[in-house]
């Protein structure tokens, strides 16, 4: 018998015995009530629940302590009013939203590497999902090497959903002979707060900041 069955065995035995005894007593007394039987069984079960599954409410809808040694699947919302201590790894397949301060001792931003070999228009996905963008224009490329930013409509629909959102992406200019020049995309104004060029052989940080419902700022640091 595995550990899970060993823990469940006392509960099941108690429930069966309680059901038999209560039903027998009720029948001998000339009356029978399933409600009374279930109340007795519930009382017996509650007295045998281990500490790690103790209930903090009479209706059994709140847990005061829960230890999970395998997978915990939740199909609805989990609300935690206190501190959540996560000792192992956590994997989130969707968006993770934090409405308060978030502190991380070590935060590694993952993402793909986007390599540009010709003048092009960046997509919203390339901005939102990339870890780094590399300019690698050939020696015969038309100077300057021009990269057009995505329009605000698609960019805001993908990841920059709220005014004040910002994204930072390293841009590495490994082109053979030319400077990279960034230009605005369609669908909303691009407010350039600094030079929009990345010189040959340098790395700069592209920082995009959403400033309104239709516009964003590009800073190259």
How much is the pLDDT for 5?
47
- pLDDT digit string, tens, across residues 142-192: 677 889 999 899 999 999 999 999 999 999 999 888 889 998 877 656 666
How much is the pLDDT for 50?
54
| Residue 180 preceded by cis peptide, ω within 30 | no
Contact in structure between 130 and 158 (CB atoms under 8 Å):
no
CA 99 vs CA 21, 96, 110: distances in Å: 53, 10, 22
How much is the pLDDT for 99?
72
How much is the pLDDT for 32?
55
How much is the pLDDT for 20?
57
Rounded mean pLDDT, 106-123: 86
55 token code pair: 């209930």
Instruction: Calculate the average pLDDT of the chain.
Output: 75
Measured distance CA(130)–CA(113) in Å, rounded: 6
pTM of the complete model = 0.60
- Counting residues of the chain whose pLDDT is more than 70, the rounded percentage is 58
Rounded mean pLDDT, 72-94: 71
Measured distance CA(202)–CA(173) in Å, rounded: 6
Instruction: Identify which of 179, 194, 187 has the alpha carbon closest to the alpha carbon of residue 213.
Output: 187
Q: For residue 29, is pLDDT > 70?
A: no
How much is the pLDDT for 87?
73
Rounded mean pLDDT, 43-61: 53
Q: For residue 55, is pLDDT > 90?
A: no
Could you tell me the residue ranges of all domains in the chain? 1-74, 112-220
Contact in structure between 180 and 169 (CB atoms under 8 Å):
no
Q: In terms of pLDDT, which residue wins out, 9 or 202?
A: 202
Q: Residue 84, exposed/middle/buried by CB under 10 A (0-12, 13-18, 19+)? A: exposed
How much is the pLDDT for 116?
93
Banded pLDDT at 18 (limits 50, 70, 90): low
- Residue 181 bridge partners (DSSP): 146, 197
């Amino acid at each position: 018998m595995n550990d899970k069955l060993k823990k469940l065995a006392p509960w099941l035995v108690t429930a069966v015995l309680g059901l038999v005894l209560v039903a027998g007593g009720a029948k001998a007394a000339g009356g029978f009530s399933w409600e009374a039987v279930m109340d007795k069984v519930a009382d017996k079960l509650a007295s045998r629940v281990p500490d790690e599954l103790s209930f903090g409410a009479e209706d059994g809808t709140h847990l005061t302590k829960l230890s999970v040694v395998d997978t915990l699947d939740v199909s609805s919302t989990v609300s935690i009013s206190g501190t959540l201590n996560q000792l192992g790894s956590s994997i989130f397949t969707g968006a993770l939203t934090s409405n308060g301060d978030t502190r991380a001792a070590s935060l590694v931003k993952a993402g793909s590497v986007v390599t540009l070999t010709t003048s092009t228009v960046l997509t919203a996905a390339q901005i939102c999902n990339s870890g780094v963008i590399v300019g690698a224009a050939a020696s015969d490329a038309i100077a300057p090497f021009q990269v057009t930013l995505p329009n605000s409509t698609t960019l805001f629909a993908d990841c920059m959903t709220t005014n004040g959102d910002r994204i930072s992406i390293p841009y590495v200019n490994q082109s053979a002979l030319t400077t990279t020049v960034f230009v605005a995309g369609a669908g909303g104004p691009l407010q350039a707060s600094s030079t929009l060029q990345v010189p040959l052989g340098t790395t700069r940080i592209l920082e995009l900041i959403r400033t309104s419902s239709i516009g964003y700022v590009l800073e190259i640091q």
